[in-house]
Structures are given as structure tokens and as C-alpha cells.
Amino acid sequence: MSDVQYGAAGGGSGGDRPRRTGWRRLVPSWRVVTGTVLAVLVLLLGGFFLGYALVSIPDPNAAAVAQSNVYYYADGKTELARDGAVNRQNVSLSEVAETAQHAVLSAEDRNFYHESAVSPKAMLRAAWNTATGKGRQSGSTITQQYVKNYYLNQNQTASRKVKEFFIAIKLDRNESKDQILEGYLNTSYFGRNAYGIQAASQAYFDKNAAQLTTAEGAYIATLLNAPSEYDLAAHPENAPAAKARWNYVLDGMVKEGWLTASERNATQFPAIGKPKPVASKAGQRGYIIEAVNQYLDENHIVDSDSLRLGGYRIVTSIQKPKEDAFVTAAQNDIYAKLGDTAADKYVRAGGASIDPATGDVVALYGGIDYTKQYVSSATNGTYPPGSTFKPVVLAAALQHHSQTQDGEDITPSTVYDGENKRPVVGPDGPVGYAPENEDNRTFGRINVTEAMDQSVNAVYAQMAQDVGTQKVIDTAHELGMPDDVKIPTTPAMALGSFGASPLDMAQIYATLANHGKQVPYTLVLKVTKDGNDLTLPKREPKQTVPRDTADTVTSVLRSVVEGPKGTARVAQDSDWPSAAKTGTAENDIAAWFAGYTPKLASVVAVLGMNPDTGKQEKLYHALHQDRINGGGPPGQVWADYTAAALRGVPVQDFDLDVSKDLPPTSPASDEPTTDTPTTSQPPTSLPPTSTRPPTSSPPTTEPTTPTGPTSEPPTTEPTGEPTQTFDPLGGLTGAATGGPGGGGGPGGG
């Protein structure tokens, strides 16, 4: 009975399972395992979708998009300089050699084109190897590495890896594989401060990425694994490891079918170039970069903010042989001759050279070194150009068919009164300006050409009044003087009593050399960004001054070079037919030489500037000379530069169309007069500004051109100071209304 009851009870209870005993109690049931796995999967999937939803593709980090601007000489191949914090130049995938692309894929991600953006298997393998001490590995695909380079950072943190994972997946859906590979190649670091494969190709092999050989491309790919360690120029002891990695890359290319076995066997380890010094702003580079950037901004090609972001490839108009020739001439003729006086410390040199036919600025000299003297003397427009402006006055007179106060046409043979301190007169009498001639010399009756030869201030100040100062200003602008150069409307303008730069004056002389046809100057031949050419301003030649006017001025300026008393005779050292004019600013703060051949127009200036304050300083006794004249060091630089710049070019003469009356070429006499000339009486109320040529022979006593003062410079200032003053950093203040020297001063030529 009890047995039956026991059995019935057992059946009625549903047949309870026997309880587990021993170790079996520790093993979870299949229900628990299944539930746990499902829960984990739900959490993982939920976490994945949550992460995918929450993590968005961010903006690229600033360092990733920063590029350098690369400046080239006019040949478009020779690098002049780089400007920017990051040495990077982005290129399209088509601008990278295909074998180099395959080498990178072989080194970093052979399944890039066939698999997804992330590789969990590779990530797990990398984690295991790192944990077991086999070396830290990222396990990242090329897409993940690109995300790290372009959007995130290099920090090895869990949060960054999570973001990298999700961004890579999203990016793979938004961009093509080619776009991702291109971005990766442009953002990766290859050592030698080279970011991107183009900068790396230049750094290691001095060539563009499109020109890389198979061996070179494999080495570039090798660097991705250890950029600094595998730079064999810096670490030759790492050659075995670098070559092993290089072989690994090539073998992978064979395995993937990107390289045949025979090609692999024929590939030799490449010769690695030595590190090149960075093309910084030292020497002339900084001056040129500064001038080019200003040109790009002012001409609305690239604004300054965009330039700071970088990525521009800029072909300048600077021709390296001519630039080198300018540097050599300035070094030999100025800086090598500096003495130890206080004035020698103030010496600055600047210059510009333009091809008259094209307007290309082929050379620009800003100073001894941008890192030592950052203010460019080539573009510094605060120094008066002195008598180099006198040809503009003559051009205006010829262009406008101007007449003297007594009604005589102004031509190269027109005779003026060259009396020292002769008051300038207008229709209503003296205008309150009586310029000194150089060294207070009186020249008597002298024609316009001879007055240009010997830079007679009295003649050209009166001529400016005769022509009309506004007409002179108009002609200056037509010849190429920038509109922002403020030229005073007083007769002192004839003596260069305003601020202008050597580049400004070079444009004027280039137009004269081009027969009055102005071609606006340029410093830029081509600009590209991301492979696209930017639009440059049209620079059509324009006949702004009649040809016979410009050619007549050229004929007069040739006399300054070839005449026995011309102040620019040093130009003959160039061995080219030349037209030129010298200029010396008041108080010897600047000396100029401006001139041209049929092929080249150049201006050289020696300026006095305090290196500590920027204040303009006198140059008396600098360069072992009592006074710096335009025909001295500036002229010698001009001649030596021109000779070197045109070496190998067939010499040709000027092709002039001269219809103006030219004076006879009889030589002038040797002695200046000190009294009022006997052929005209001193002015009383309304003195004539010129007289008709005398019926007798020209006087036999004319002034000689001095090579410098015969005594010490005056220790006292002239008694009649002009009201015009010159701010060394800001230009002119006041107006030139009086004083014996006026704004141009007695320096003359």
C-alpha cells in the first residue's frame, strides 16, 4: 500500500527532476546560456545602433586640412619657398603613381577595395598581440586610419577607437574607396616633417608623387609603419629592418597581382636622398613671399585669409638666374663694402627688375636677409625717389605739348635758366619755391637734355610748373605709378619729393622702355588649388603715352648715360645700350639709379634706415664715401646686375621713333658759373622761364659732374627749410611750399 501511494504521489507531482549534485551544479543550463547570449546580442546590437546614431562625421581637424603654400620660380619647376605651419601639398589620386598606390595598399590594407571599412578580426588580432607583448598594433583599416588622421587625433584611447569605428562605417557609405585612399595618402605622416605623399616624395626623392618608381613607392609605403626609424639618412642602423619591411611590401604586391615576379626580382632598393633644408623665409624668400601674397590679395586672386589656410601652388614671375644675379651684385657692390661708421649700420638696399614687354617682375631684391631686416626695401614706399622722377616731368611736357612761360614749346633742346635757387614762377609770379641745385651750383643757360644729364633742379622744377602739376601726376599714373602714391601738386614734385618704392619706379621705367605701352606688372604667372587653375587679372598692353613721347625721353636718358657729363655713365659697364637717371634724396637719406635697356628695366635704391626705430637716417660717410650718389653704389649694382641678367642675350639697340627737336651733341664745358648768367638778368617780378637759344656759340664754361663734395657735408641745415616734412614710416606730411631744397632737396642726381 505504501509502495502504491508512493508511486502515485510521484506521478501526481509531475515527476520532479532530481537535483544536481557535485560539480554539475556549477554548469549553467542551456536555457541560461541561451538567455545570456541573447541578452548580450541585444545589448551589442543596441549599443551598435545607438553608437551609430549618436556618432556623426565631424568636421575635419584644423591640422589635417592645413597645407603649405608652395612658391615656384617662373619655370614652374624650381621651388622658391614654402609658407605655412604644415608641410603638406594635397594631390589627387591620379597624381600619385599607380605602383605607389599599390605599395601603400600592400603595406597597410590589402583588402581595402574588397572589404568593409572596419575589420573586427584584425582588431581582435591586434588587441591580442598587444596584450601578449608582441608589440602594439592598431588593427585599423586604411579607412579607420584616414578617420584618425582627418577627423580625430592620434591619442590611443578607448573613446577615440569607438568614434573611429563608427565614423569609418559611415564614411564608407558616403565616400568612394578612391576618395578615401586619396584622403589617406594626403593626411598620413611620412617623416622629415612631410605630411602627405606629395611632400614625402619631394622630401625623400626630390620629385612629384606621380614620378615615383616602384622601388621608391614601396619605400614611401614602408615609412608609414615607422616614419622616423625608417629614414635611413637619419638612422642608417635601421637599414635591415627598413629593407625587410620594403621586401614585405613588394612581396605583397606580387601576391595581390600588382607586380609580376620578374618585376619584383628586378627591383632594387632605392637611393634615399639626404634631408634638404626647409625653404624658409631666409634670404630673399621672405621678401618675395610677402610681395606675392600682397599682390594676390590686392588683385582679388586669393585673399589673405584663404592664403593662411594654405594649399596653393603659386608660380611667380621671378626668374632664378636674374634673382641670383641681383643678390650677387648687391652683395659685391654694397654689403661687401660697408665700413664701420654709424651710417654704415643704416645702409639698406632694394631693387626691382621688370621685363618691359611682358610686365613680369623677374627679380626683386628686398634687403640683405628677410630674417634680419624684415622691411622690404623693394616695396617700401616711404623714401623719396629724388631726380629719378624728372623723366616723368619731361614726358608730361612732351605728351601735352606744353610751353614755357614765354610761349616756347618744350623740347629736349629748349633752353632754361639753371640758376641756383632761381624762384619758380607761374602766370601770376613766383610761387614761393626756389630749389637748390646740387652743391649750390649755377649752370646758366642750359637746354633740357643737358639739364637732365646733370640733374639741374632749377630747370625741372620750373618745367613742372610750366606743364601743370596735375598733368605731371596724370602722366605718372599713365606710365604705371600706382594710384595710392601721393604726389604733391607743387613744383617740388619734379625732384621726387614724395614716397615711392623701387617697384613703383621700375613700372614707370618699364613703360618708357616699352615705347609708352604700359603692361601692368605682375609677380604671379599661375595659381592652382586642388589641381584647379585660378583666374588671374587680364593685363593687356595699353598705349598710355604716345610712342614718340616715350622714345624722346629715352633718347634724352641715353644722353645721361653716354654724355660726357651724364650722371649715369656707370650704366655703360652693362655693355648694353642703356637709358638711365640717377636720384639723390635730400639729406642723403636715399640714392637711386633707375634705367633700362631694350630688354630689361631695373631700379636700385640705397636707403638709410635705423634698424632699431625704422627712422630714416642720413648716409653721409657710409660705404667709405662722403655722400652716396645715385651714380655710385646703386648705379654699380644696376650695371653689374644688368650685365649678368642679360648675359647670353644678343645685344640690341633701342628702336626709337623720335620726332621731337633734339639738341646738338656738342660737348659742354667744364666749369660751373657761380654768378647769375650774363645772358639773362636776375628775375625781378616775372622772370622768363626760358629764352630762345642764343645766336652765338654756347658758353664754354659749364659745370662738371662732381664725384662727391670736396669738403665735409654741411653741419648746419639750410636757412630756408621747406614746410614739407617726411615721416620715416608714414610718408609725407605738410606741403612743399618753400625752402631752397624743397621736398627733393639739393641732392639732384
pLDDT (tens digit per residue) in 151-163? 655 554 555 555 6
Residue ending a domain, choose from 266, 284, 315: 266
User: Please, are residues 365 and 284 in contact by the beta-carbon 8 Å criterion?
Assistant: yes
In this structure, are 398 and 262 located in the same domain? no
Phi, psi of 486 (to 5 degrees): -90, 105
Can you point out the beta strands (E) in 625-749?
A: 725-727, 731-733
User: Considering the domain boundaries, does residue 505 fall inside one?
Assistant: yes
User: Considering the domain boundaries, does residue 240 fall inside one?
Assistant: yes
Residue ending a domain, choose from 222, 246, 266: 266
User: Considering the domain boundaries, does residue 631 fall inside one?
Assistant: no
User: Considering the domain boundaries, does residue 377 fall inside one?
Assistant: no
User: Considering the domain boundaries, does residue 331 fall inside one?
Assistant: no
pLDDT, position 129: 52
pLDDT, position 695: 32
pLDDT, position 46: 56
- Cell numbers placing 646: 642679360
User: Considering the domain boundaries, does residue 465 fall inside one?
Assistant: yes
Contact residues for 212 (Cβ-Cβ < 8 A; gap 6+): 96, 97, 99, 100, 201, 205, 220
Higher pLDDT, 525 or 111: 525
- CATH for 261: 1.10.3810.10
Site of grid cell 609708352: 516
Question: Given pLDDT bands bounded at 50, 70 and 90, which one contains residue 116?
Answer: confident
Determine what percent of the chain is predicted with pLDDT higher than 90.
Answer: 61
Mean pLDDT of all residues in 648-675: 67
R_g of the chain, CA atoms, integer Å: 39
Torsion from C-alpha of 741, 745, 747, 749, nearest 10 degrees: -110
Question: Given pLDDT bands bounded at 50, 70 and 90, which one contains residue 543?
Answer: very high
Q: How far apart are CA 723 and CA 733, in angstroms?
A: 9
Q: How far apart are CA 335 and CA 69, in angstroms?
A: 31
Q: Half-sphere exposure (CA, 13 Å, Cβ side) for 300?
A: 2
Question: Given pLDDT bands bounded at 50, 70 and 90, which one contains residue 30?
Answer: low
Q: How far apart are CA 531 and CA 534, in angstroms?
A: 10
Can you point out the beta strands (E) in 597-712?
A: 601-608
**Is the C-alpha dihedral spanning 88, 89, 93, 95 positive or negative?**
negative
pLDDT, position 668: 39
DSSP bridge partners of 31: none
Q: Half-sphere exposure (CA, 13 Å, Cβ side) for 433?
A: 34
User: Considering the domain boundaries, does residue 255 fall inside one?
Assistant: yes
Alpha helices in 388-453 (DSSP H): 390-399, 448-453
Alpha helices in 334-365 (DSSP H): none
**Of the listed ranges 72-81, 225-234, 339-348, 720-729, the one predicted with least confidence:** 720-729
Give the chain's domain count. Answer: 2
Residue ending a domain, choose from 214, 231, 266: 266
Domain with 468 in it: 386-625+645-733
Question: Given pLDDT bands bounded at 50, 70 and 90, which one contains residue 706?
Answer: very low
Higher pLDDT, 422 or 744: 422
Question: Given pLDDT bands bounded at 50, 70 and 90, which one contains residue 115?
Answer: confident
In this structure, are 673 and 539 located in the same domain? yes
User: Please, are residues 537 and 599 in contact by the beta-carbon 8 Å criterion?
Assistant: no
- CATH for 683: 3.40.710.10
User: Please, are residues 566 and 705 in contact by the beta-carbon 8 Å criterion?
Assistant: yes
Judge whether residue 699 has pLDDT over 50.
no
Can you point out the beta strands (E) in 554-694?
A: 579-584, 590-596, 601-608
Between β-strands 725-727 and 731-733, what pairing exists: parallel, antiparallel or unpaired? antiparallel
Q: Report pTM.
A: 0.72
CA-nearest of 522, 574, 98 to 291 is 522
pLDDT, position 67: 84
Mean pLDDT of all residues in 682-704: 36
Phi, psi of 135 (to 5 degrees): 105, 145
In this structure, are 261 and 395 located in the same domain? no
Q: What is the pLDDT of residues 496-524, one digit of tens each?
A: 999 999 999 999 999 999 999 999 999 99
Q: Half-sphere exposure (CA, 13 Å, Cβ side) for 710?
A: 4
Judge whether residue 318 has pLDDT over 70.
yes
CA-nearest of 190, 372, 408, 160 to 283 is 372
Across the chain, mean pLDDT equals 82
DSSP structure class, residue 711: S
CA-nearest of 181, 257, 255, 261 to 221 is 181
User: Considering the domain boundaries, does residue 539 fall inside one?
Assistant: yes
Mean pLDDT of all residues in 322-348: 97
Higher pLDDT, 170 or 611: 611
User: Please, are residues 717 and 588 in contact by the beta-carbon 8 Å criterion?
Assistant: no
Determine what percent of the chain is predicted with pLDDT higher than 70.
Answer: 73
In this structure, are 253 and 392 located in the same domain? no
In this structure, are 257 and 397 located in the same domain? no
pLDDT, position 58: 55
Between β-strands 429-430 and 524-529, what pairing exists: parallel, antiparallel or unpaired? unpaired
